[in-house]
């Protein structure tokens, strides 16, 4: 299902719509997004670090298109966790357990107030430029009937999406070779990512890879 951003501020956002996990820009370009797992590079041995670095270099050299790597740092929101603990506290049958849970909740709340706990998310943005922009396609089909335009536009989108998905698969495979797991974002996840990017003050839970 295609979802089009709405609101006065959306005029400053270069996104036309998000369709089947594909971000369609106002200039007709497509973007696919991979969310990536992390590896603790600092805990690797020197040989392992060298192998990872060399593997990443080789991966980049195999690409004939550009990619964008995004690191998103946000303050971790522990409010849902604290709310869950509050519920568990109310369910306890002994006063001792309720007191211990209450003390733990206060400890976590105090600790998070004093410490700036951050969570990091890693993304790779993969671009694809269709052979015709959306505006050019509409102009080309202007003399046709509405049904023909709809079929042609849908066919063009599916062809372009297939090309972008090939790139996403290629990038995902290259990252897997160095131990990084990459999963394409769906429509809802892409919307959430864009919302967070344009609303950095909002506290949200991180988008997670399925385990």
* All structural domains of the chain with their residue ranges: 8-74+120-198, 77-116
Q: Report the DSSP pairing between strands 118-128 and 15-19.
A: unpaired
In this predicted model, what pLDDT tens digit does every residue of 86-115 receive, in sequence order?
888 888 888 998 899 999 999 988 888 777
Percent of the chain with pLDDT over 90: 44
| pLDDT-based confidence at residue 206 (cuts at 50, 70, 90) | very low
Average pLDDT over residues 146-151: 52
> Which pair of structure tokens corresponds to residue 17?
């719509």
pTM greater than the 0.75 cutoff: no
Helix, strand, coil content of the chain in percent (nearest 5): 50, 20, 30
The sign of the dihedral angle between the CA atoms of 113, 208, 68, 173 is positive
Measured distance CA(186)–CA(141) in Å, rounded: 30
Burial class (CB in 10 A: 0-12, 13-18, 19+), 20: middle
Token pair in block for residue 26:
């106002």
Where does the chain show beta strands of DSSP type E? 15-19, 22-25, 30-36, 68-75, 118-128, 182-184
């Amino acid at each position: 299902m295609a979802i089009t951003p709405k609101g006065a501020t959306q005029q400053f956002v270069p996104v036309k719509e998000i369709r089947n996990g594909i971000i369609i820009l106002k200039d007709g370009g497509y973007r696919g997004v991979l969310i990536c797992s992390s590896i603790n590079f600092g805990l690797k041995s020197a040989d392992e670090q060298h192998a990872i670095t060399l593997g990443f270099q080789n991966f980049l050299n195999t690409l004939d298109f550009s990619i964008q790597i995004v690191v998103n740092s946000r303050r971790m929101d522990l409010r849902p966790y604290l709310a869950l603990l509050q519920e568990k506290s109310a369910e306890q049958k002994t006063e001792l357990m309720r007191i211990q849970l209450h003390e733990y909740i206060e400890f976590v709340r105090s600790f998070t107030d004093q410490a700036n706990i951050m969570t990091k998310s890693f993304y790779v943005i993969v671009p694809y430029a269709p052979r015709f922009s959306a505006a050019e396609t509409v102009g080309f089909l202007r003399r046709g009937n509405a049904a023909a335009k709809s079929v042609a536009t849908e066919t063009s989108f599916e062809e372009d999406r297939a090309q972008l998905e090939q790139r996403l698969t290629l990038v995902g495979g290259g990252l897997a070779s160095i131990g990084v797991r990459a999963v394409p974002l769906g429509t809802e996840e892409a919307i959430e990512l864009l919302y967070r990017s344009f609303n950095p003050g909002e506290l949200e839970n991180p988008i997670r890879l399925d385990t």
